[in-house]
Chain A
Amino acid sequence: MLILVTGGAANGKSRYAESLCMRAASPRFYLAAMQPYGAEGEKRITRHRAMREGKGFETIERYTDYASLVLPARGTALLECICNLTANEMFDENGSVSDPVERVLSGVDALCAQCETLIVVTNDVGSDGVSYAPETEAYIAALGTINRALAVRADTVVELVAGIPIAVKGELPI
């Protein structure tokens, strides 16, 4: 079972995704793709950690290459988030740029095969009407392609708006 959770920043995606996990099979793995850059990143990570505390998640930090990740057991995994994973697969620290689409999708496919339930959090980065530098536009396009491909694979797609879940595909699990 694959559930895709999308929505704008600060709309309650993480909270909702975690509540989905709590209803799904143990063990529960939290797959963190966000690289902690600076104080602001740390703050976000601290906030998410506090939300997960006591919920029985084992956290696995991994920024790229989910295709070769072996989960310790079969259960539920929450991958957060595709926006970070896509950026990590696309841009490396030396400034080189590569196509992230296949790597992100094969990573999700590999996880899906190892989980009873996989919950994936993403965001819609194409909706601000701003024009960006070509590399950023390429990122937007890649993430759009990935989101569409994930939605095809997903049993359920949920958008969060002001903390309220909306079914985009399938029925709301909760």
Chain B
Amino acid sequence: MVLILGGAGAGKKEYARSLGFTDADFSTDVSDGKPVLYDLETIVRDVDVPFDALLKKKLILCREVGSGVIPLDRSEREWREAVGRLCCALAKEATAVVRVVCGIPTVLKGKLPCISD
């Protein structure tokens, strides 16, 4: 599994497409067998995500939400905390972690992946 992080609109999906994945590969369902999971930060708002199922994905795209002013709303703070901790746990298991900034991928762990992986 490769974890792809970045801010909103940073180019995470575009980067996934550049690896050869098509829109038919994308999904927000953790257990539908599709290789690319996106909007992880939104999914965890509603569902208790089974960690093992996440590890079966090829790519996981998640927005970085931990920067900025600490939200006044408690549930928003807990959500930031949950997304951050989940990404720490996923990064540990990932073969590669890529952060997209202005559409440019930077490797935080492992090597830049290619489609044959």
Partners in one complex: yes
Q: Which residues of A line the B interface, CB within 8 A?
A: 7-12, 40, 83, 123-130, 132, 136, 139-140, 161-164, 166
Cβ of B68 and Cβ of A127 under 8 Å apart? yes
Q: 1/0 per residue B76-98: CB within 8 Å of A?
A: 01001111110110111000010
Given contacts A40-B74, A161-B5, A162-B5, contact A10 B84 (CB under 8 A): yes
- Counted as pairs of residues, one from A and one from B, with CB atoms less than 8 Å apart, the total is 76
Chosen A-B contacts, 16 in total, with CB atoms closer than 8 Å, are: A8-B66, A9-B80, A9-B81, A10-B81, A11-B66, A11-B88, A83-B70, A125-B67, A130-B68, A130-B69, A136-B69, A162-B90, A162-B108, A163-B88, A163-B91, A164-B91
Number of chain B residues whose Cβ lies closer than 8 Å to a Cβ of chain A: 28
Q: Which residue of chain B has its CB nearest to the CB of A9?
A: B66
Separation of A47 and B35 alpha carbons in the complex (Å): 35
Given contacts A10-B85, A10-B88, A161-B5, contact A126 B68 (CB under 8 A): yes
B-side contacts of A9, CB under 8 Å = 66-67, 70, 77, 80-81, 84
B13 within 8 A of A: no
B36 within 8 A of A: no
Most buried by A among B5, B67, B87, B108: B67
Cβ of B84 and Cβ of A8 under 8 Å apart? yes
Q: Which residues of B line the A interface, CB within 8 A?
A: 3, 5, 7-8, 64-70, 74, 77, 80-85, 87-88, 90-92, 97, 99, 108-109
B-side contacts of A126, CB under 8 Å = 67-68
A-side contacts of B8, CB under 8 Å = 129
Q: Which residue of chain A has its CB nearest to the CB of B62?
A: A162
A-side contacts of B68, CB under 8 Å = 124-130
B-side contacts of A123, CB under 8 Å = 67
Cβ of A161 and Cβ of B70 under 8 Å apart? no
B-side contacts of A8, CB under 8 Å = 64-67, 80, 84
Separation of A74 and B80 alpha carbons in the complex (Å): 37
Separation of A40 and B76 alpha carbons in the complex (Å): 13
Q: Which residue of chain B has its CB nearest to the CB of A87?
A: B70
Q: Which residue of chain A has its CB nearest to the CB of B99?
A: A161
A11-B87, A136-B69, A161-B64 are known contacts; what are 19 more A-B pairs with Cβ within 8 Å?
A10-B66, A10-B85, A11-B66, A11-B84, A11-B88, A123-B67, A124-B67, A125-B68, A127-B67, A127-B68, A161-B5, A162-B3, A162-B5, A162-B87, A162-B88, A162-B97, A162-B108, A163-B91, A164-B97
